[in-house]
Amino acid sequence: AQSVSQHNHHVILSEAASLELGCNYSYGGTVNLFWYVQYPGQHLQLLLKYFSGDPLVKGIKGFEAEFIKSKFSFNLRKPSVQWSDTAEYFCAGLSGGYNKLIFGAGTRLAVHP
């Protein structure tokens, strides 16, 4: 079955620390991957997406992710986090021939000033 897994459920960082959130996918065929973010009290928003081409994808707010096919991974990174990055982050993959997203369980990030 197609699945997306996120290893870290809770991450706590200090401001200016570097961030890497893990995401692995388990399905074959065409791979389309996303990172969504949900800030406190807000709805899910797209951070970045990978469809094809350059495996290093840059998104909004200084986030980037690298698609590594050999590792079935799509980890999210940011070199220096801010308090405003406190949020829940979801990795997702697009399933098969239909446009349904398969989400990981999410990683709750808390950044302390």
Partner 1 sequence: GAGVSQTPSNKVTEKGKYVELRCDPISGHTALYWYRQSLGQGPEFLIYFQGTGAADDSGLPNDRFFAVRPEGSVSTLKIQRTERGDSAVYLCASSPGQARADTQYFGPGTRLTVL
> Which positions touch partner 1 (CB under 8 A)?
4, 30, 32, 36, 42-46, 49, 51, 90, 92, 94-95, 98-106
* Least spacing, CB of residue 103 vs partner 1, in Å: 3
Residue number with CB closer to partner 1 (19 or 93): 93
Residue number with CB closer to partner 1 (52 or 113): 52
Tell me the DSSP string of 30-90. Answer: S--EEEEEE-TTS--EEEEEE-SS-SEEE-GGG-EEEEEGGGTEEEEEESS--GGG-EEEE
* Least spacing, CB of residue 112 vs partner 1, in Å: 22
CA distance 109 to 64: 16
Residue number with CB closer to partner 1 (56 or 60): 60
Task: State the amino acid at position 44 in one-letter form.
Answer: L
* Least spacing, CB of residue 22 vs partner 1, in Å: 14
CA distance 36 to 28: 22
